[in-house]
Structure 1
Amino acid sequence: MSNHNAQPNTNAVNVATSRNPATNELIATYTFQTANEVERLLVDSAAAFRLWRATPMRERVAAYHRLSATLRERSDSLASLITAEMGKTIGAARAEVEKCAATIEWIAENGPAIVADEPVSVDSDDEVHVSYLPIGTVLAVMPWNFPLWQVVRASGPVMLSGNGFLLKHAPNVMGSAYALQEAYEAAGFPKGLFANLNTDNETVARTIEDDRVAAITLTGSMRAGSAVAATAGRALKKSLLELGGADAFIVLADANIDLAVKAGIEARFQNAGQVCLAAKRFILERPIAEEFTRKFVAAAKQIKVGDPLDPTSTIGPMARHDLRDELHQQIERTIAAGATLLLGGKKVEGIGNFYEPTVLADVTPGMAAFDEETFGPVAAITVADNAEQAILLANTSDYGLGGSLWTSDVARAQRIARRLETGGVFINGYPASNARIPVGGVKKSGYGRELSHFGLREFTNAQAVWAKAVD
């Protein structure tokens, strides 16, 4: 149990509760910070920002290298904590820690050049450049599905340019939040520069409005994003939103079906299907629909649902029982609307929030599994008469985060990609994130970009400096 106000009191209302989704056992409760504690947090954050922005880049980079090493040194304990708090298989949890360490390393090696002063040529002897300057403390509201990665993906680019970072993490993974804060401090970052805000939504709203908070980034639901963006807008503060998706996985008639099936299984069922940037709607061109569906269902039957600490388990439990209930209702509503259940569709009996890998066929627009984000182990299959209809179906969504396109004609795929209304298109591959590539969406999947040079500059002041030539 962490020492960050962790209490064994399960009756308190103003607490964040961490509970093992595989066993339902209580891990810890974290008492919400008082108003005075939140005020001290903001005071310390502002002081740490002033110190950090004045810290030479070479010293920031050194801290990043130490952080990467610290994450790797603590990999086993961090991975065990991730698995205990949200149910990710232990192998996937270790991979998450390593991805964080590798991303911090990439930022350290490439970030300084990206945020360095950029010269601009003008039609005179004047000297002009753009400086990418820090703007202050960025408040981040983060989800539970990748307890470390989502935070590192946001904090890494934000902090290298000189900003501070205030984290409001999901209540069920507060242990991971404090473990990450401890890693930053152990790496030598100024105390208070990376800090956790453990409180209720009303206090978060007031914190957004506080002058010591410069901007807001959120990964979560459309409802949460709308509320945060409205509050940020009233305060005239920049916001970045990543609000999930209903990514299409398009398989055209000339695709390699076996490869597409293998990738589709991983793309849909990794992390028990609890991934924003992941295949959710499988749109198949009619000539290959039967073959793909048959092989996909056969492969899904081989998925082993079980103890996430067992290395033979493919997927573990869903993170919370209410999320499992919500997914089950979406599946039942989809079947009631005319979809065909090919596999699964049931909660696993017994202790824990386990759910059977599920495949639905004959899914069409207007059904829950097509229109809504399904955040769990369910794949929805839709058949298109041709490529044109597949594109239309893919774009028939409120979301626009990512998408996959499978075909042997890559040149054609490149042309189709430009017609897909998404922040990312993966040709003959499945949605993924990488430090070098921007992540973000369009439509109701949000706005703004994380990672790559876009993320490193997202929360900076692009200050134009124009020095007139002196005769």
Structure 2
Amino acid sequence: MEREIKGGFKTINPFTEEIIEKYTYITNDEMFDALEACHKAFEDWKIVSIEERGKILQEIGTQLKAHKKELSQLMTDEMGKVITQGESEVDLCIAIAEYTAKNAAKELEPIERELPNGGKGLITYAPEGVIYSIQPWNFPAYQPLRVAIANLMAGNGVLLKHAQNVTGSALLVEKILVKAGVPKGLFKVLVIDHDQSNELIQNEKVRGVTFTGSSAGGSQVAKVAGEALKKTVMELGSNDAYLVLDDADVEAAVEACVQGRIVNNGETCIAAKRFVVVDKVYDAFKEGFVKGMKDVKMDNPNDGDTQLGPIARKDLRDMLHDQVSESVEKGAVIEVGGEIPSRKGYFYPSTVLSNVEPGQPAYDDELFGPVASLIRAKDNEDAMRIANDSRFGLGGGIFSKDQKGAIELAQKHFDTGMVFVNSYGLAQPMMPFGGVKDSGYGREHGGFGLKEFMNAKSVMVVEE
């Protein structure tokens, strides 16, 4: 984990447990100077054409390609991400930059409407100003860049407070954006603590706040922002349910569900976490799923054939194990895994818990690591009931050979922001990303993120 030192902190490699770097918090004066500089840069940037902004976004993609190896390695060093998945993360960021550059003009095109008095109405989208982005460690490049790309294209400025343990990745992202031609001060990383962050939110030049992280953290940030009348976007945690219905291709479901649980070391808000399996296929799924999880290769995240690296921080690994232990104390059964290995690094094995019921952390809470909750349902209707029996609602999945029926379940009954049919969840540049209930509100990607912090301005003209 990052370790606090006087006036700052150290970052720790979760694989080697060695210190990577030491950082010092900036002063309040430096923080507010950065805010003033960002606002000043915004005043010029907001009148730059969408076409010119798009050229810089394209260059961001080019610079990401040039720094792909360096950024991927740094993410692996700072939070234990398997190196091949770090490369895929950079590829996603490139795709987001390219998609946004190509489609923003159409998304932000003014809309004309006739007024009842014979006049003309014009709806236009105007940037709002400085957007404050608070991001977690699990996707050190994607999380800040999905916010920055959308808001820079919208004409806003962005200040980033990244998670301490990926500070190096944050600073490299800033370097990449500057090399791509983003004007000086328009995007800036702030190495600040929570108290400083709250002060920044309350400043009048901050026009919006976007937060990705836990529900508890989001609640606190939303409270501070709400008291200052700032709009927020919240992308929070979840315990996504994946339904295996009575007509599912069990073999395909097993393969997808194993990958859906271990991707990014299981440290993904939209990862498959609760596996709700109908009684008719439960035993067959359980047998294949437990074997699949048992066969996952956990090792050095720098090796290309490693499937599971270490948990990002020791305290997070310990918390995950405590959740498993409490679930077992309350009746859950460990089918595989569930023990902290005696080796260097903050590793936790791929784990399957069965007999998971309400009242256990494995049922009620988010387990941020490669721990799967296996739940038996009586039938398809019961499976959907169990899926919706959660305070969270970010993503989810349905495995069924009846694609039409699965789509209808997703549209009409699944109370969540995203549903994946016969696959596991991954972000796509052209599709909205976000949740409901304790998983937050607001959307990113697919044009939706462009407009979250824009003023939909009505211009009404009475004809002479």
TM-score, reference length from structure 2: 0.98
Equivalent runs, 1:168-317 vs 2, <5 Å: 168-317=161-310
- 1:99-178 equivalences under 5 Å are 99-123=92-116, 125-178=118-171
Distance 2:115 2:14 in 1: 60
Contact 1:10/1:29 (CA < 8 Å) preserved in 2?
no
1:11 offset after TM fit, Å?
7.3
**C-alpha distance 343-211 of structure 1, shift in aligned 2 (>3 A):** same
- Summarize the alignment of residues 335-346 of structure 1 with structure 2, pairs less than 5 Å apart: 335-346=328-339
Tell me the equivalent position of 1:399.
Answer: 392
Structure 2 residue 407 is the aligned partner of structure 1 residue 414: yes
Contact residue 244 and residue 373 of structure 1 kept, 8 A: yes
How far apart are the structure 1 equivalents of 2:314 and 2:116?
63
Identity %: 38
CA distance in 1, matches of 2:98, 2:6: 40
| Higher mean displacement: 122-131 or 188-197 | 122-131
Q: 1:35 aligns with which of 28, 48, 57?
A: 28
Contact kept, 8 Å, 1:100 with 1:152, in 2: the verdict is yes
- C-alpha change, 1:371 and 1:151, in structure 2 (3 Å) is same
Distance 1:14 1:446 in 2: 32
| Structure 2 residue corresponding to 1:70, chosen from 63, 73, 87 | 63
Structure 1 gap segments, 5+ residues each = 1-8
Q: Which runs of 4+ in 1 moved over 6 A?
A: none
- Residue from 78, 81, 89 that aligns with 1:88: 81
In the alignment, what sits opposite 2:445? 451
Q: Does 1:325 align with 2:318?
A: yes
Q: How many Å apart are 1:125 and its aligned residue? A: 4.2
Map of 1:463 onto structure 2 = 457
Partner residue in 2 for 1:51: 44
Distance 1:113 1:16, change over 3 A: farther
Per-residue CA deviations over 1:360-406 (Å, capped at 9, x if unaligned) read: 11101111111000000100000000111111111111101010011
2:33 maps to 1:24: no
- Tell me the secondary structure at the aligned position of residue 90 of structure 2: helix
Q: Conserved in 2, the CA contact under 8 Å of 1:63 and 1:188? A: yes
- C-alpha separation between the residues in 2 aligned to 1:383 and 1:120? 53
Deviations 1:69-122 (A, max 9, x none): 000011110111111001011100111111101110110000121112122244
SS in 1 for 2:357: coil
Change in CA separation of 1:460 and 1:298 when aligned onto 2, cut-off 3 Å = same
Which of 401, 417, 420 pairs up with 1:426?
420
Distance between the aligned counterparts of 1:11 and 1:361, measured in 2? 38
Asked if structure 1 preserves the Cα contact closer than 8 Å seen for 2:244 and 2:277, the reply is yes
Aligned AA (2:207) = A
Return the offset for 1:466: 1.1
Q: Deviations over 1:167-196 (max 9, x none)?
A: 000000000000000111101111111101
Measured after TM superposition, the shift of residue 123 of structure 1 is 4.5
Number of aligned residue pairs: give it: 462
Partner secondary structure for residue 452 of structure 1:
coil
Letter in 2 for 1:147: P
**8 A contact 2:4–2:10 mirrored in 1:** no
Q: Distance in 2 between matches of 1:124 and 1:72?
A: 54
Aligned amino acid, residue 369 of structure 1:
A
When the two chains are superposed, the root-mean-square deviation of aligned CA atoms in Å is: 1.2
For 1:11 and 1:129, locate their aligned partners in 2 and report how far apart those are by CA, in whole Å: 52
**Given that residues 215 and 239 in structure 1 are in contact (C-alpha distance below 8 angstroms), is that contact kept between their aligned partners in structure 2?**
yes
What is the one-letter code of the residue matched to 1:396?
D
C-alpha distance in 2 between matches for 1:239 and 1:195? 19
Q: Could you give the per-residue CA deviations for residues 198-232 of structure 1, whole angstroms, max 9, x where no partner exists?
A: 11101100100001100000000111111110111
Contact preservation (8 Å) 1:283, 1:390: yes
> Is residue 16–residue 174 contact of structure 1 (8 Å, CA) maintained in 2?
no
Distance 2:114 2:336 in 1: 61
Cross-structure match for 1:3: none
1:15 aligns with 2:2: no
Letter in 2 for 1:455: G
Which residue type is aligned with residue 402 of structure 2?
A: D
Answer yes or no: is the 8 Å Cα contact 1:440–1:450 preserved in 2. Answer: yes
8 Å contact from structure 2 (residues 3, 9) kept in 1: no
Contact preservation (8 Å) 1:365, 1:396: no
**In 2, Cα distance between the equivalents of 1:320 and 1:13?**
20
* The 10-residue stretch of structure 1 (137-146 or 148-157) with the greater mean CA deviation from structure 2: 148-157
**Aligned counterparts of 1:16 and 1:167: Cα–Cα separation in 2:** 17
Q: What is the one-letter code of the residue matched to 1:440?
A: G
Contact 1:337 1:367 in 2 (8 A): yes
Aligned partner of residue 309 in structure 2, secondary structure: coil
Deviation (angstroms), 1:10: 7.4
User: Equivalents in 2 of 1:427, 1:12: separation in Å?
Assistant: 47
TM-score (normalised: structure 1) = 0.96
- Provide the secondary structure at the position in 1 that maps to 2:175: helix
Is 1:366 the counterpart of 2:359 in the alignment? yes
Matched to 1:299, the amino acid is G
